[in-house]
Structure 1
Amino acid sequence: MDTKEVTDHLYYPVSERKMERGEGVYLYDEDGRRFLDCASATFNLSLGYSHPVVIAAMKDQLDKVVHMTSSYQSDPINGLVQRLVETSPSGLTKVHPKVSGGSAANEGAIKMAQLATGKSDVITLFRSHVGQTMMMTSMSGNAFRREPFPNLFPGSLQVPDPYCFRCFYGQKKETCGMMCVDRLEDFVDYASSGRVAAVLIEPISGNGGNIVPPDGYMQKLRAFCDEQGIALIFDEIQTGIGRTGHMFAAQYFGVEPDAITTAKGLGGSGAQVAAILTNERLAGLPANHHSFTYGSNLLAAAAANATLDIVRQPEFLAHVTRTGAAIMERLRDMQTRYQPIVDVRGVGLMIGFEIAEPDGKPAVKLTNHLAAKAMDHGLILRTSRYGYGNVLKIRPPLILTMDQAEEICDKLENLFLAELAR
């Protein structure tokens, strides 16, 4: 088959551009053109394309055994459990590695919370994206994600995000007293079944627009969950494994949840690996209730161990903070010169900037246009909410150098000069 025939048979649409190889933060097409990937593929290449240490670890494991039943111990899984316990908040001492993706990890954490609390409902946020399974689609925000499916999983309710720039309650963060947490009691009393098992939250929204909660939000949310007997689960599929300049965003915010889910960046250069970390409170779910054939995969665990050994180093995490701060500084300068940039927000190398019309309304069409045209400038950008949103996201591999951070910003300048001067 030629390329056109193959794309005709693919179930989903793809770009006409054919990519050939990746190296570090760059992806190369078949014509040799280089693109700096600000999306880290699907936000999962924490160490970029083909990191030599990760590849070497996988090659070494290939010569031993690729996969076996998780009923037996193995060095890769033992090592993964040890490293995750060592690098997570101190109370999270249980590791469930028998999942192979973020959706399954989140679903498993919910099952654990339901079993531990004896309750059923789950609270998520309006703009949340907590997975692609039917259960996780049902519990995510955004009506357009649920609209095609007639049989949604019951027992979830969505509440307003801590989105200070476009506050649902029309408040200012300096004076609102954290209304987005205070009103949760009303949602529990009037919108739930009265049996809320968990709050599942992305510490910084991934697909939802890179919303960073204000200072004190997480502490107040933790206190609310404790008062209500609700488990607090952090979906760190995107924020975890160094993305915020900390191993987990929970450490950045200074709050310990009852569980953390991790995937994406855990594989370093693309290995499919995930895990659920919990405290003793959520321990006890029998393995037969949440166990997947390709969970605890040895090849993926070898990649994860190599990744964790690199990312956990203090100097590596400090560098993520520095490069992220440099990009934020340049973006804030651009905000003063380009009217469509109305807000810049982020932590570490999890950055987003919001594009708006002159009247302040979200400029969705312009956002998608800029992302598409970025390719002409050698830059890969992703937008929020599957193209329904107005935030451009910058989440390059964590190995980004300071020169490459400047390269991103220079390319963005060229993009805005070319597209907004018309």
Structure 2
Amino acid sequence: METYCQQTDRNSTTLIIKPFTMSSNVHFTKGKGIRLYTPQNDEYIDAVSGTFNIALGYSHPELVEVLKTQLEDLVHVSSSFTGELAQNVLDSILDHAPEHITDGWMRDIIGSTANEGAVKIANKYNGKNEVISLSMSHHGQTLYATSISGNAFRRKSFSNTLTTQNGIVPAPYCYRCPYSAKGAPACGYLCTEAIYDYIQYSSSDNISCIILEPILGNGGNIVPPEGYFERIRKICDELDIVLIADEVQTGIGRTGYMFASEHYNIQPDIITLAKGLGGIGIPAAAILYRSEFAVLEKFEHSYTSGGNLLSLAATQKTMEVVSRDGFLENVRENGTILGDLLNTLKESYGHIIGDVRGIGYMWGLEIVDKDGAPDVDLANRIIELALTDHKMILRGSRYGFGNVVKVRPALTATLDDIEEICSRLNKLFSKL
């Protein structure tokens, strides 16, 4: 009889769940903190928090305990019923949201449907239906969320599956500016001017909303320049467009702030959350908004497992942990050190690392060839070597040029963890 590892060859035609980005046969049976363990007890460092959703590390004891208790008490009730837990959890999130965000919706379980729900709210609120998003953006994997995303990686196989009124405008990718400008503000924020151009020359003049990520996570960890979001807010105010901040990846402490929207002064009308909201990988999602956007009937956006009791219990404890004194300050301080260490690597390996960008525990290394062009093959090789030779898990960006290696440890990662990650990266780069 074949072992699991023998079955997990990526070329297997019989494997039910095939590896996505890794060709290795490594699999894990236990996790603790930022470390994962094989059946043989080999230890690996997870430098990317699972799929960026293990905010508090693997098997965080406090979350494990509350989940055990909830499992023993009650796992699920029909959406026909509600309880204090759901309201208490929503209130705990809103307590830390930007002050103008005062209401919310917790009937989702993943970021894709939360983003769909946000667009539903915008469309019902203003009676319009056209959506503007950014190139290289990623807003989910359902048909609709894929349709409003600005990347080819997932869209190309489903281009005619779902018709949606959607316009895609350039991302604020200053390192590879589509206009060959020399950076904001000197460029006049040409990428925001493109929104005016789209509305005037390409749209049906029925724009409902603009949806954007504070940091384009899967597009290459693209951090917009200072002043960008103020320009976007101004456009939305001028043209009566709803602004949606997709904080599925950036929310709940990833940037060192509870909400990236507040740090970057985005002032969105609607915020979506998921991934890290469940703390240790428990699926959880939420939509937050200004009070005037409470327009949905309860039956207009609801899922069987949305707001289930396990998700709520995990979210409640996650919010409690992340909001403790000193927690986010620690992420900010260690995140600055992480950025400094990664930039030190860039100084040593500038022929490989073209750019380092990020904040908090959300960083990306842009991998380049000798001419400075995106080197996708080398980025993939780095990810493979990290796993096979250095027992470290990294992830790459498949939504932009595909040449960005992500470094996003759990928010509980210590300074020693950060230094170990960068030490292993240094050893890896030194042998390329």
TM-score band (shorter)? over 0.9
Distance, in Å, in 2 between the alignment partners of 1:326 and 1:378 is: 22
Distance, in Å, in 2 between the alignment partners of 1:38 and 1:58 is: 25
- Residue equivalent to 1:227: 238
> Normalising by structure 2, what TM-score?
0.94
- Residue equivalent to 2:44: 35
Give, in angstroms, the shift of residue 388 of structure 1: 5.3
> Normalising by structure 1, what TM-score?
0.96
Give, in angstroms, the shift of residue 320 of structure 1: 0.5
2:317 corresponds to 1:306: yes
**One-letter amino acid matched to 2:171:** D
2:188 corresponds to 1:180: no
1:347 to 359, 364, 368: 359
Partner SS, residue 335 of structure 1:
helix
Deviations along 1:355-409, one digit per CA (max 9) or x if unpaired, are: 1111111011000000110012121000002695110101110000001100010
Equivalent positions of 1:75-90 (< 5 A) are 75-90=84-99
- Residue equivalent to 1:10: 15
Q: Which 4+ runs in 1 deviate beyond 3 A?
A: 4-12
Give, in angstroms, the shift of residue 289 of structure 1: 1.5
Distance, in Å, in 2 between the alignment partners of 1:21 and 1:328 is: 29
- Structure 1 residues 52, 75: CA separation in 2 closer, same or farther (over 3 Å shift)? farther
* Bigger mean CA offset, 4-13 vs 166-175: 4-13
Partner SS, residue 36 of structure 1:
strand
Equivalent positions of 1:6-405 (< 5 A) are 9-14=14-19, 15-149=24-158, 150-174=160-184, 175-338=186-349, 339-375=351-387, 376-385=389-398, 389-405=402-418
**Native 8 Å contact 1:368 1:387 kept in 2:** no
Note the residue ranges of structure 1 that are not aligned, 5 or more in a row. Answer: none
RMSD: 1.5
Distance, in Å, in 1 between the alignment partners of 2:157 and 2:219 is: 19
Distance, in Å, in 1 between the alignment partners of 2:75 and 2:153 is: 39
**Native 8 Å contact 1:134 1:153 kept in 2:** no
Distance, in Å, in 2 between the alignment partners of 1:312 and 1:111 is: 30
**Native 8 Å contact 2:170 2:194 kept in 1:** no
Deviations along 1:184-209, one digit per CA (max 9) or x if unpaired, are: 11111112211110100010011100
**One-letter amino acid matched to 1:250:** S
**Native 8 Å contact 1:259 1:277 kept in 2:** yes
* Bigger mean CA offset, 166-175 vs 205-214: 166-175
Q: How many pairs does the alignment contain? A: 419
2:415 corresponds to 1:414: no
Deviations along 1:236-268, one digit per CA (max 9) or x if unpaired, are: 000001001110101110232001000000000
Distance, in Å, in 1 between the alignment partners of 2:225 and 2:400 is: 25
Distance, in Å, in 2 between the alignment partners of 1:271 and 1:96 is: 18
Note the residue ranges of structure 2 that are not aligned, 5 or more in a row. Answer: none
Distance, in Å, in 2 between the alignment partners of 1:158 and 1:227 is: 19
**Native 8 Å contact 1:54 1:303 kept in 2:** yes
**One-letter amino acid matched to 1:367:** A
**One-letter amino acid matched to 2:377:** K
